Amino acid sequence: MRNIVILISGGGSNMLAIAQAAQREHWPERFQARIACVISNRPQAGGLAKAAELGLATQVVDHKSFEGQSHPREAFDSALMQAIDVHQPSLVVLAGFMRILTPGFVVHYQGRLLNIHPSLLPAFTGLNTHQRAIDAGCRFAGATVHQVTVDLDDGPILAQAVVPVMPDDTADSLAARVLTQEHLVYPQAIAEWLSRQP
């Protein structure tokens, strides 16, 4: 069985969409793949309770407990890697995981680390993507599933979802429209990735 570890920081809506797709589409039978654990860097993340309700194992590696160390980001990433590697993952999925990962972490999972970004990459890397798309006069926005590399919001694109930008859109209304598509395209991209791996 191939193990998937999902990393979250908040409400976990993408994690939930992936987990529900895995159940609905019988990933254990079709791909010999299962969600082994959902790990959050925030103890209060709402997605932890949602994962537990689905019967998924959960864990917290609190990034704040590493503050005050000489290299807090590296120490956190090292602890996170240890928590992940217990599950011998075939795939590590970033689903609203609000941390910039160190190069050492990314290299450790090279080729098996996926992320979803709320823009049509390579446009609008980083934060505030929806407001930036509106400010730029974009007619379309969307989301991109990509493999993670050491460069922020870079790496091979696996899938994209496109939504129109409406004349009266705010960042919040556009974000909500994009999020509904994220919930569709992310599970699809993961299923396609699993189907292509030997």
Say what the pTM is: 0.96
Give 3-state DSSP helix, strand, coil % of the chain, rounded to 5: 40, 25, 35
- Ramachandran class of 96: left when φ > 0, alpha when ψ lies in -120 to 50, beta otherwise: left
pLDDT digits (tens, 9 = 90+) for 21-34: 999 999 999 999 99
Does residue 87 carry a catalytic annotation? no
In angstroms, the CA 26 to CA 15 distance is 16
* Cα distance between residue 159 and residue 120, in whole Å: 10
At residue 63, the pLDDT reads 96
Domain parsing of the chain, residue ranges: 2-196
Distances (CA, A) of 125 to 111, 121, 154, 155: 20, 7, 8, 12
pLDDT digits (tens, 9 = 90+) for 79-120: 999 999 999 999 999 999 999 899 999 999 999 999 999 999
Residue 197: per-residue pLDDT: 87
Catalytic residue among 117, 130, 146, 183: 117
pLDDT confidence of residue 175: 97
3-state secondary structure of 156: coil
Residues of the chain falling short of pLDDT 70:
none
Question: What CATH number should be reported for the domain whose range is 2-196?
Answer: 3.40.50.170
Question: CA-based Rg of the chain, rounded to a whole angstrom?
Answer: 17
- Phi and psi torsions of 47, nearest 5°: -65, -20
**The predicted structure's pLDDT at residue 162:** 98
92 CB-near residues (< 8 Å, 6+ apart): 4, 5, 6, 7, 84, 109, 112, 113, 114
**pLDDT score recorded for residue 198:** 77
pLDDT of residue 194: 97
For residue 49 the two structure tokens come to 């309770």
